A and B are shown apart, each in its own frame.
With several copies, the nearest count.
Chain A
Amino acid sequence: MNKITAPATSTLKVPESPEPLEHPMKDYLRTERFPHIWCSTCGIGTVLTAFIAGLQKSGLDRDKVAVVSGIGCSGRAAGYLRLDSFHSTHGRAIPFATGLALGNPELKVAIISGDGDIAAIGGNHFIHAARRNMNLTVICINNFNYAMTGGQAGPTTPQEANASTAPYGAYEYPFNLPYLAESCGAVYVARWTSLHVRRATKAIAEALVKPGFSFIEVIAPCPTLYARRNRLGTGLDLMRFYHDTAKIQHGANTKDIDIEYQKEIIVGKFVDKDKTDFFTNRNSFLQNKLGDKYIPYKGTK
């Protein structure tokens, strides 16, 4: 990442500012790895911004926050965050994070990964972590395809959309991820698009401080593959599309918020309820059953 010494006006000479200025999120980024790998107009970077902003807003001690990603374009998120950050295997970010969060219960662990990673190969871990109400925040960047591997159809690809393994259009029914999350017991469920960067930031801040399993789906453009194959233009065009078609409906019944190809997208916060998280629940349960004999797990010194 370059140091910016003056406002960029390119064709105009302007007085230099007294000190080199740095991006306000620089401390949260592994700038030595920049520029990142994401394509021009890809939405993942914006979600990363929202995450950092949400984390700042949450008031959590950043050293006690860890991020785990799976494999995918979205899964590269962990690699750019200057937090304890883990790039695990495809689909296994959630169980890795489960171990990490239990291994050191002082941590708040967030998962940032793609729709394929979380809902295809990782689907079982997703539903079980939600069921257990594991103290995790899952941010699923949904770009409607497996981007990293070249734009294959996946469980979120809307019917009719074209993909490299659905060359005549996808015909499978896609998941409605918020509905799935809710049916398994997630205590916080929201959906935004990368255009809703402020709302997503707020949702991330809320989710990070919410005990238990929180889930935020963020729809984001993949211009290089999904948009190109479907001739939907650039990421900017998709942002405009979100602008035109996203409808905020807080508290919507998750049952009713299926996503159809290039149709209205219902966004909002759908679930925000209280339920004791796995760790707390286990502690009080065992305390209750074993009394003095119980030695709670407290992590290692």
Chain B
Amino acid sequence: MMNYWRTPLDINKIEVPHGNVHIDNEQCKGCGFCIEYCPRDVLALSKDFNRKGYHYPIVLKQGACVNCTLCEMICPDFSIFVVEGKPSHPNIDDVLKKGVKS
């Protein structure tokens, strides 16, 4: 099979690119594309609904994001984007795990 995303070639080397993920909860329609296709499993579905009644994604492992922007590209609702740079937030894996829909 093939790859659907730009493989972060240098992922395991020094100078791993990093990205900060930003999500527009209210505009998101909870399709889950970003979650499904993130190569680093950075995202997960929230348990909460937004006003429209959709579950939006939350950042599970901010530090793991390699800024591949696949989430941004594949989102049909322009509700998620990534900004290059050191993670501006702690890696919140464990903190969030309990809030995540399985």
**Can you spell out 21 A-B residue pairs with CB atoms less than 8 angstroms apart?**
A9-B89, A10-B48, A21-B81, A25-B81, A34-B78, A38-B76, A45-B76, A46-B75, A46-B76, A49-B72, A50-B73, A53-B73, A195-B37, A196-B4, A197-B74, A198-B73, A201-B73, A235-B76, A236-B32, A239-B36, A243-B1
Contacting residues of chain B (51-102) with chain A, CB-CB under 8 angstroms? 54, 56-59, 62, 70, 72-78, 81, 83, 88-89, 92, 95-96, 99
Q: In this assembly, does B30 line the interface, its C-beta being within 8 Å of a C-beta of chain A?
A: yes
Bound Cα distance from A41 to B59, whole angstroms: 19
Instruction: List B residues at the A interface (Cβ < 8 Å).
Output: 1-2, 4-6, 20-27, 29-33, 36-37, 46, 48, 54, 56-59, 62, 70, 72-78, 81, 83, 88-89, 92, 95-96, 99
Which of A12-20, A180-188, A293-301 is the interface stretch?
A: A12-20
- Is the CB–CB distance between A10 and B46 below 8 Å? yes
Q: In this assembly, does A2 line the interface, its C-beta being within 8 Å of a C-beta of chain B?
A: yes
Bound Cα distance from A7 to B37, whole angstroms: 19
Give, as a whole number of angstroms, the nearest-CB distance from A121 to chain B: 25
Instruction: List A residues at the B interface (Cβ < 8 Å).
Output: 1-2, 4, 6-12, 14-15, 17, 21, 23-25, 29, 34-36, 38-46, 48-50, 53, 194-198, 201, 234-236, 239-240, 243, 248
Bound Cα distance from A177 to B32, whole angstroms: 30
**Known: A44-B76, A45-B75. Contact between A14 and B89, CB under 8 A?**
yes
Bound Cα distance from A9 to B95, whole angstroms: 10
Bound Cα distance from A285 to B24, whole angstroms: 48
Smallest CB-CB separation from B26: which chain A residue? A2
- Is the CB–CB distance between A197 and B73 below 8 Å? yes
The interface residues of chain B lying within 8 Å CB-to-CB of A198 are 4-6, 70, 73
The listed residue (B21, B30, B74, B89) touching A46 by CB distance below 8 A is B74
Interface centre among A25, A44, A239 (most CB of B within 10 A): A239
**Known: A1-B78, A7-B21, A29-B78. Contact between A35 and B36, CB under 8 A?**
no
Give me 11 other A-B pairs in contact (C-beta within 8 A), A21-B22, A45-B78 excluded: A1-B24, A4-B81, A7-B89, A9-B92, A39-B29, A41-B32, A46-B76, A53-B73, A194-B76, A195-B37, A195-B74
**Known: A23-B81, A36-B77. Contact between A10 and B58, CB under 8 A?**
yes
Give, as a whole number of angstroms, the nearest-CB distance from A256 to chain B: 19
Bound Cα distance from A19 to B92, whole angstroms: 22
The interface residues of chain B lying within 8 Å CB-to-CB of A45 are 75-78
